């Protein structure tokens, strides 16, 4: 591969639009602390700049045109760094979460119009920087998921807030299974505001640069028929099978059903961390009634700061990302081996001196 990248994040003002462009293609634009910090600084600079009327977030393609390096909007966070830090003192991991969550909150509360182009893999950290935006564009290439239970983590970056507010029990299903959604499904669930072919994104971006106050009209004009949302064909089953916020009940319902969808789903859940799944269920239950997104971030930071130093996270990263044997040895072999007391400890608020706070 030839060519040099100007930086892992490119922030620039073009016309009257502040542009944030992810530029870490070999890692599918996964976020690290420096990238989150650079985005925060740019958003702060533009917030009070009258020359900047809107903000657009996308990713740069590989300069060599390698399609394998151009298929991700943002695949998440720098998981290896988090695992290495968690196995030690956890300081770097906590610093990352602290900064990333400030970025998520800043976007959520940003006064100027924001638009994210979710063209390609949008997972974890990519969800965190796209979902707070006022306009969220999906394409035929979009693959959206919160797959954290596979590595002993949980759907953070506001995942509790977004997933708990989806119709019925679909959020629980997505949080536990890590199921991938396509562009049509994102539209059906309200996680995307527009569906536009990737071939017309340059046209959409050019229109926004021309008229930053006309983002909605520009996207409306380019929107295409939305594909059918396959997940909705299972919505009744999901509502029934995931009706409980107790993981043991979910497993029991899936086992008792015995149908193809339930059997496949149960097989998927048996590969995930029981601890992570219990954390995820409690997160969504708490998030349903939490007062503000700031409160959400504060809760998620407390949970993340503890989970990142527990065995299941290190083991999940080893099995899925490092050794790639996909044979994790979880700290608990089944849901009933994870105590409510442990989950309560993970969710306990941090002391004020250690707690997360907005920028």
The catalytic site residues sit at 77, 125, 148, 156
Do 174 and 145 touch, CB atoms closer than 8 A? yes
User: What is the dihedral angle through the alpha carbons of 181, 184, 189, 195, rounded to the nearest 10 degrees?
Assistant: 120
Three-class secondary structure of residue 9 per DSSP? strand
User: What is the dihedral angle through the alpha carbons of 178, 286, 33, 353, rounded to the nearest 10 degrees?
Assistant: -160
Distance CA 171, CA 159 (A): 9
Measured CA to CA in angstroms, residue 269 lies from 160, 179, 280, 331, 341 at distances of 19, 11, 13, 15, 22
Distance CA 315, CA 317 (A): 5
Distance CA 22, CA 61 (A): 9
Do 125 and 206 touch, CB atoms closer than 8 A? no
């Amino acid at each position: 591969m030839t060519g040099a990248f100007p930086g892992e994040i490119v922030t620039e003002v073009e016309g009257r639009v502040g542009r944030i462009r992810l530029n870490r293609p070999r890692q599918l634009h996964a976020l690290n602390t420096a990238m989150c910090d650079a985005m925060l600084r740019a958003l702060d600079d533009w917030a009070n700049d009258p020359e900047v009327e809107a903000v657009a977030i996308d990713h740069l393609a590989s300069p060599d045109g390698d399609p394998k390096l151009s298929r991700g909007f943002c695949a998440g966070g720098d998981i290896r760094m988090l695992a290495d830090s968690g196995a030690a003192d956890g300081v770097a991991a906590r610093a990352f979460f602290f900064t990333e969550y400030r970025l998520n909150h800043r976007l959520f509360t940003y006064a100027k119009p924001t638009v994210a182009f979710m063209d390609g893999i949008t997972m974890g950290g990519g969800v965190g920087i796209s979902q707070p935006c006022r306009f969220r564009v999906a394409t035929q290439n979009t693959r959206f998921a919160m797959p954290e239970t596979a590595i002993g983590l949980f759907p953070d970056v506001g995942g509790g807030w977004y997933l708990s507010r989806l119709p019925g029990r679909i959020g629980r299903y997505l949080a536990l299974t890590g199921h991938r959604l396509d562009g049509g499904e994102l539209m059906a669930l309200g996680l995307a505001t527009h569906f536009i072919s990737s071939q017309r994104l340059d046209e959409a971006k050019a229109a926004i640069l021309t008229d930053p106050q006309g983002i909605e009209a520009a996207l409306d004009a380019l929107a295409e028929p939305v594909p059918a949302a396959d997940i909705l064909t299972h919505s009744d089953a999901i509502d029934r099978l995931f009706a409980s916020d107790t993981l043991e009940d979910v497993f029991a319902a899936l086992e008792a059903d015995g149908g193809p969808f339930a059997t496949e789903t149960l097989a998927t859940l048996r590969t995930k961390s029981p601890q992570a799944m219990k954390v995820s269920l409690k997160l969504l239950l708490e998030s349903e009634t939490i007062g503000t997104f700031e409160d959400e971030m504060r809760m998620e930071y407390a949970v993340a700061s503890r989970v990142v130093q527990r065995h299941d996270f290190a083991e999940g990263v080893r099995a899925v990302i490092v050794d790639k044997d996909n044979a994790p040895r979880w700290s608990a072999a089944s849901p009933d081996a994870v105590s409510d007391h442990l989950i309560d400890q993970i969710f306990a608020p941090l002391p004020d001196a250690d707690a997360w706070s907005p920028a």
